[in-house]
Each structure stands twice: as C-alpha cells, then as structure tokens.
Structure 1
Amino acid sequence: MTVDKTAIRNAATVIVLRDRLTAPKVLMGQRGAQAAFMPNKFVFPGGAVDAADADVPLGTPLPAVCHERLMEDAPADMPHALSAAAIRELWEETGLVLGTPGSWSCPPPADWASFAATGHLPAAHPLQFVFRAITPPGRPRRFDARFFMIDADEISSDPDDFSSACDELSHLQWIPLPQVREFDLPFITEVVLAEVAARAHDMTPPSSVPFFRNNEEANMFVRLKGVGPVTGRSH
C-alpha cells in the first residue's frame, strides 16, 4: 500500500454571510489558474495557520462552545491560533477587518502589520465554528481545515471595499445562496454550503460540528461534541 506523505497543515476558512435573515449571500472569490491547490475554483477566504498566529493578541475571545469543539482532537493552543488565522486570512484575501478598535501592546508580527495599521485588534467573538474537513490523501497539498461562519454585520470595515485585498482571490463577490452552486466549486465547499444554508437563520454557534475525516484507511463523517472537563475524552 502506498502511504501518502503529504504533510497536513492546520488551516482556517471564513464563511461570511450577509443579509442572512432576508436574502442570504455568501462572500467568495476565485483562485488563480496557476494555483497549486484548487486552481480556478470559487472558494471562501482562508488559508494555513502561521506560527505567529498563536501569539497574536485577541481583542475579544472565541465563543466558549466553539473553543470547546476546536479543542477536540487538537493541541491546547489550536483554538487561539485558528481564530487568529481566520481573521488574518480574511483580511489578507478580502481586505475586510474583523476587529475591535484598539492598539497593540507589542509590535505585531510582519504578517499582521497591515491589519494592526487599521487601528484594530482581531475580534474572535463573531467566529462560529461550523465544519471541519481534512483534504483527502493524494492531493498536492493537504489541510485540516476548520470552517468559521460570521455575520457580515460584525465586519468593522465597508463590506463592499476589497481594495486592500491581496491577489490570492479574484472576482470577490457576494453570491446569493440559491445561486452559489452555479459556480465552479470544490466538492467540500458544496458540502459545507449545505450546512451553511441550514444554519443561515440561526445566530447561535452549533452545539456539535460535522467533521469530514480523511486518512489513508477511510473517509467518514463524525460529529465533534467537545472534550469533557473531567475525563478529557470525547462524548
């Protein structure tokens, strides 16, 4: 049996919903034709966790239930790092600020300098952990991606201003949920969108989270229900 030796990187993906109670729209962009991972596909903003993300100060904390779900089958510092990565990737790929006004007590890491220059600290309280998926074996890059849903009303900047975005994604746009499947989407994005559609009108974080676990032996859906405070085992 061939063993897939591609390293799996932790990653955060952000699903921004707008007008979710009336005519829900989701923010997506298109990856470049030369991209090594999912070329030409329409995707949510997101990317791998950087080493510095675990040490970035958060202006507001992640919801407790989301923190508990993220702790399952993960290192203790992962909820903080993933929260920061989600906010950083949203800023880098869309130019949108998920933050609270404030100044940094220490100089920010290089990847955070432009975010800090907006006069904000990253705000994790709007992040709702709604899905987790590992890229199947055999792909050129593999990620253990956690998907966070946020309401566009939590964005501190103009939700239509993408002028500060890098060139990672093109054709950034708010797509009505009923029309999203007309675009060229990765399989896992279609699966996640079904979860998003089901939760579009629910403003509270989910009590359990779907996890699409892929490894060399099998792929399966399980649900993350958190780590118990006494035994430390899933329940």
Structure 2
Amino acid sequence: MGETDARLRRAQIDGPPIRDAATVIVLRDAATAPRVLMGQRGSGAAFMPNKFVFPGGAVDAADAGVPLACPLNAACETRLRAETDPALAPALVAAAIREVWEETGLIFGVPGAWDRPAPEGWEGFAASGHLPSPRGFHFVFRAITPPGRPRRFDARFFLVEAEAVVNDPDDFSGAQEELSHLQWVPLPEARGFDLPFITEVVLAEVARLSRQGLPPDSVPFFNNRTGRSEFLRLD
C-alpha cells in the first residue's frame, strides 16, 4: 500500500462518521428570471464557515417517523433508494422539509392536524397547522464529503419550485438564525458568492435543469466515501 493510499485509509477509519443529510434548492421564477434561495453560514461554524449555501442539514432520528402528507414521486423515491438503505428515503425528504422550516421559516406542507404528538424538532412545524408535503420535490444531486474534513455528510440535494411554499416566500421572520443574509439570488449571479465547491457544481446542474425541465433524466452522484472520488449516475 502506498503512502497516499494509507493516508486515505486512515482518514476513512479515524475521521468523523458520514451522516446522512438533505439540502434543498428552492427555485423561483424558473421560466423567466430564475432565482435560488441561499443564506450565509456563521463565521464560527465548524463546517463551511462564512460560505453561502442552500438550506439543509443532517437527518435526525425523529425524521423517520414524521407523517408525510403524500408519497414521494416514483422517480424521486427510486433514486433515493439506490446505493443506500432503501428505508431511508422518507426520512431524507422529511429532513429536507424540516431544515427549510428551521433555517428560513418557509413551509412545504398542506393544512392538517397531526395524528400523534410531533417529535422533537418538529413542534413548531406542527403548530403551524400543516403536515409536511414532498409534493414537487425532485432528487437532483448527491455528494459525499471527502475524507479529511471536520464533518462528513452523504448529502442529497432536492430541487423544488417556490410555488410549493405555502406561506410568504419573502418572509424569513420564522427562521431560527442558522443562516444569515437569506435572499433570493439570481441564478446567473450565484456563482459570484463565496460558495463551497460542491455548491458551484450543483448550481451548474440547477441551471441545466432550469432550461431542460424536471424531472431530471438521472442524478449525478459524487461518491467520496473512501477518498477515491467516483462519479456515478443514479438512473
């Protein structure tokens, strides 16, 4: 085993665990002047400080038991189940909806009462009088953080048009301050912000899909699980 291979193997064994995560690209005015919702991470954040990102974060254990208002669309669910535990798919979408709620105050849901007490982290969403809804969500990208980073995620990126937001898309007063400078960024200008590399790559895919339309014909997957970067497509 060479020195580089040994170092990568140590990073895989000794580094932080890879956590499942969900990220949401909310696209507005796709047919006319496309904009995406982004915010800035804090300077003290352990992961990607000061970077402009889409809303998102790690899957919580409680997300698996959250009642979704409708099933995932078939293509989305099939691709989410590829190369992972198939049972994880609903929790990933629930986490995506929760993270948008927490970080922006925007609601993807339908009016309705929960048939059980809301789990930890979901109390505020349930109190809004909505059930979380994945209607309009499309799975468009997946990337695993390479070894050597302070935190590692297996992130699934969802694209959804802003028309699916049921409250005011310009009102971020309900945000829990995890992201600052929340704003709708014109798609052609987004790459001028201070972005993580993977966000730049995802933006290029979003630009392509905004022209081509949804759903995507396949999902790019940057598999960096072992340190050997592998590019796949999930059909």
TM-score, normalised to structure 1, is 0.94
1:232 matched residue in structure 2: none
1:231 matched residue in structure 2: none
Q: Tell me how far 1:69 sits from its aligned partner.
A: 0.2
Q: Residue 93 of structure 1 contacts residue 165 of structure 1 at CA under 8 Å; is this kept in 2?
A: yes
Cα deviation digits, residues 179-232 of structure 1 (max 9, x gap): 11110000000000000000114442223100011133410211011xxxxxxx
Matches within 5 A, 1:23-38: 23-38=33-48
Q: Residue 135 of structure 2 contacts residue 164 of structure 2 at CA under 8 Å; is this kept in 1?
A: no
1:180 matched residue in structure 2: 190
Q: Residue 213 of structure 1 contacts residue 222 of structure 1 at CA under 8 Å; is this kept in 2?
A: yes
| 2:65 is aligned with 1:59 | no
Q: Residue 18 of structure 2 contacts residue 153 of structure 2 at CA under 8 Å; is this kept in 1?
A: yes
Q: Tell me how far 1:73 sits from its aligned partner.
A: 1.1
Runs of 4 or more, structure 1, over 3 Å off, are none
| 2:38 is aligned with 1:15 | no
How far apart, in 2, do the equivalents of 1:144 and 1:83 lie? 14
Q: Residue 80 of structure 2 contacts residue 86 of structure 2 at CA under 8 Å; is this kept in 1?
A: no
The structure 2 residue matched to 1:189, chosen from 191, 195, 199, is 199
Cα deviation digits, residues 130-183 of structure 1 (max 9, x gap): 000000100000000000000000100100000000111000000000111110
SS in structure 1 opposite 2:167?
coil
The structure 2 residue matched to 1:99, chosen from 96, 102, 109, is 109
The structure 2 residue matched to 1:209, chosen from 203, 215, 219, is 219
Cα deviation digits, residues 79-116 of structure 1 (max 9, x gap): 10001000000000000000011110001002000001
Q: Tell me how far 1:122 sits from its aligned partner.
A: 0.3
Q: Residue 147 of structure 2 contacts residue 227 of structure 2 at CA under 8 Å; is this kept in 1?
A: no
Matches within 5 A, 1:36-185: 36-185=46-195
For structure 1, the residue ranges without an aligned partner over 5 or more in a row are 226-235
More helix by share: 2
TM-score, normalised to structure 2, is 0.94
Question: How big is the alpha-carbon RMSD for the aligned residues of Structure 1 and Structure 2?
Answer: 0.9
> How many residues end up aligned between the 2 structures?
225
How far apart, in 2, do the equivalents of 1:207 and 1:77 lie? 23
